[in-house]
Chain A
Amino acid sequence: MTENLAANRLQSTSAYALELDGVARHFGALVALSGIDMRIAAGERRAVLGSNGAGKTTLFNAVTGDFLPTAGRIRFFGEDITDLPPHERIRRGLRRTYQISQLFKGLSVLDSIFLACRGVSRRRFSLLRPPAADVNMVQARSILEAVHLEAYRNALVATLSHGQQRQLEIALALAGAPRFILFDEPAAGLSPTERRDLVAILNALPKHIGFIIIEHDLDVALRVANYVSMMHNGHLFKEGTPQEIEADPEVQQIYLGGKHG
């Protein structure tokens, strides 16, 4: 109880990190999202499951502002961010990763993470070269360690392997002081070993950082989430704890049926 109060005071406005009220997105006649209502507490870790085209990534795009929703309101720690441009949402502590890596192929790994740190800090327009002791450079180097990319700090992003690029995707989302992160299929294309590393990285995140993870690999999703939402055709149709979802016959039909059949 006292912990909740402290968290409330820290976040100042709301116990919810993210509140979605009737968020909808239409592409012409296609309904990608139809009236999603969702409440995610600060520090909560939510998995969103569903088949391709269920609207999961569209949901992320609506929350980060990559595409604006056609209807509904989005609140971030109590503040209505529905009409804010993406960079303003990021500066308030929201982060995301992309299903298909969105990186800077002409930049080095360290410079990429430095830019991520500088993006939510001051002197974004500085015409001076950042010294090695710059606070954002120091932050970048510690993130580099956290995602195990120290050996590639000066490598061009274009020369990284797929797995390393996925690690850099996550590194960019950890920059600054994230309060809530959207992970879009972070395990896509990773080897079993890399998946284990990913689960370790996600579980090692500070407890106050909540996240939503879209993931097809239930071994990853159910190990890092404490609550699960199922999506289908732009609707949320089921919610529950990882145990409930794993035991659910309908989910088994969709997700696990193939494996055992």
Chain B
Amino acid sequence: MSLATAAEGAAPQENWLDKIGAGHVILAVALLLYPLVASDFFLTQIAGYSMIFGVLSLSLMLLAGYGGMLSLAQITVAGIAAYAVAILGSNNSNVLGFGWPWWIVVPFAVAAAAVSSALIGWISVRTEGIYTLMITLAIATATFYFAQQNYAIFNGHSGYAGIHAPVFWSINWRDPKPFYYLCLGLAMLSYAAVLYGSRSTFGMTLQAIRDNPRRMRALGYHVTAHKVFAWFLAGILAGLAGVLLVWFNGRVSPGTIGVDVAIDILIIAVIGGLRHPIGPFVGAIVVILMQTFAIDIVGAERFNTLIGLVFLVIVFVSPDGILGLWGRIKPHLAQESLRAGP
């Protein structure tokens, strides 16, 4: 009797591990233990920052990888959430700042980002490929200049400063370790949600629309509505990343949502790979490491050249980014181990 229950108990557990995958478990444990060995600088400036930009690029991967829609407006959407946090919460710029508590500010900021994203999507889904890229670039640029020149809402080129991450459960969530776990929590949740969602009904409809929108119409689908909903979901991810970004920086200004940042996000997504939601995180770590340390290697004058060269090499060697590179190396490694085995 007790044996039978033990077997019954073991079966779903095995199933559970199979479902999640050993690789995911190892990665999660390593990331949870990382603060034991990492310095504060590596916790926030490298790991935390990479995870924020990973989630931001994940929102692009969702649109581009599953939906075939390229966007340069993801940082704009994140910026809307960041500005909303500054305006609805507290700042020390003596402009607006309603002083609402964080637990009201965050849902409002994310909702504002998601709705703006859906609006941007609704404008751009009538176009395809490079034209979508151009329209979203135009929106990103227009928002940047509007924020720079508007003082009533955006406080012009100086933007907002003195924005603080919340303090609750007697923890200051901007301290290195809490902030790292905050970023890790968001990154893991976003990653799991996108991975799960890719096999959901909506996820399948999005990939089918990417492959053949005409056929999807002939199967009874309102293709535009599905695309706009994808933008809405991507807006939630970008908005959450925007909230963490403004808590990380403590400030938001037009520079936060500049075209250079928009291009960084595209580079992160392409370097990492658009085939799998892990790609944006891999790309984010590589790009953030380069942006941080290239100055030490080649000096302040040339560090962008180095980043550009690495980008060119990766795209030249593997158009699918680092993920594609791994996909090509993995079978060789498996063969080597087989050969070594007997």
Q: Do A and B come from one complex?
A: yes
A interface vs B, CB < 8 Å? 64-66, 85-87, 90-91, 95-96, 98, 102-107, 111-112, 114-116, 118-120, 123-130, 172, 175-176
Bound-state Cα–Cα, A223 to B258, Å:
66
A178 → B minimal CB distance (Å): 11
State which of B214, B219, B229 has its C-beta within 8 Å of the C-beta of A90: B219
B196 → A minimal CB distance (Å): 7
B212 & A124 in contact (Cβ 8 Å cutoff): no
State which of B199, B202, B211, B221 has its C-beta within 8 Å of the C-beta of A87: B221
A104 & B212 in contact (Cβ 8 Å cutoff): yes
A127 & B197 in contact (Cβ 8 Å cutoff): yes
A129 → B minimal CB distance (Å): 5
State which of A87, A105, A128 has its C-beta within 8 Å of the C-beta of B217: A87
Bound-state Cα–Cα, A126 to B210, Å:
18
List the 5 closest pairs (A to B, CB-CB), nearest first: A119-B220, A119-B219, A90-B220, A102-B215, A126-B201
A-B contact count (CB 8 A): 92
A120-B220, A127-B197 known; A172 vs B215 contact (CB < 8 Å):
yes
Bound-state Cα–Cα, A66 to B215, Å:
10
Chain B residues with Cβ below 8 Å from A119 are: 216, 219-221
Q: Give 29 pairs: A residue, B residue, CB < 8 Å, sorted on A.
A: A65-B217, A66-B214, A85-B217, A86-B217, A87-B219, A87-B222, A90-B218, A91-B220, A98-B218, A102-B218, A103-B211, A106-B207, A107-B207, A115-B216, A115-B219, A118-B201, A123-B201, A124-B202, A125-B202, A125-B205, A125-B229, A126-B200, A127-B201, A128-B200, A128-B201, A129-B200, A130-B200, A172-B215, A175-B219
Chain A residues with Cβ below 8 Å from B204 are: 107, 111, 114-115
Chain B residues with Cβ below 8 Å from A103 are: 211-212, 215
B208 & A112 in contact (Cβ 8 Å cutoff): yes
A126 → B minimal CB distance (Å): 4
Bound-state Cα–Cα, A98 to B215, Å:
9
Chain B residues with Cβ below 8 Å from A85 are: 217, 222
Chain B residues with Cβ below 8 Å from A105 are: 211
B220 & A176 in contact (Cβ 8 Å cutoff): yes
State which of B199, B201, B217, B218 has its C-beta within 8 Å of the C-beta of A124: B201
Chain B residues with Cβ below 8 Å from A111 are: 204
**What is the interface of chain B mostly: helix, strand, loop, or mixed?**
helix
A125-B226, A125-B229 known; A104 vs B218 contact (CB < 8 Å):
no
A64 & B218 in contact (Cβ 8 Å cutoff): yes
B interface vs A, CB < 8 Å? 196-197, 199-205, 207-208, 210-212, 214-223, 226, 229
Bound-state Cα–Cα, A104 to B205, Å:
10
Chain B residues with Cβ below 8 Å from A95 are: 218
B207 & A104 in contact (Cβ 8 Å cutoff): yes
Bound-state Cα–Cα, A46 to B211, Å:
31
Bound-state Cα–Cα, A171 to B109, Å:
45
Of all chain B residues, which has the CB nearest A95? B218
B15 → A minimal CB distance (Å): 15
**With A66-B218, A87-B222, A107-B208 already in contact, 8 other A-B pairs whose C-beta atoms are closer than 8 Å:** A64-B218, A98-B218, A102-B214, A103-B211, A104-B212, A114-B204, A120-B220, A129-B201
Q: Which of A95, A124, A175 has the most chain B CB atoms inside 10 A of its CB?
A: A124
A86-B218, A102-B218, A172-B219 known; A126 vs B211 contact (CB < 8 Å):
no
Chain B residues with Cβ below 8 Å from A130 are: 200-201
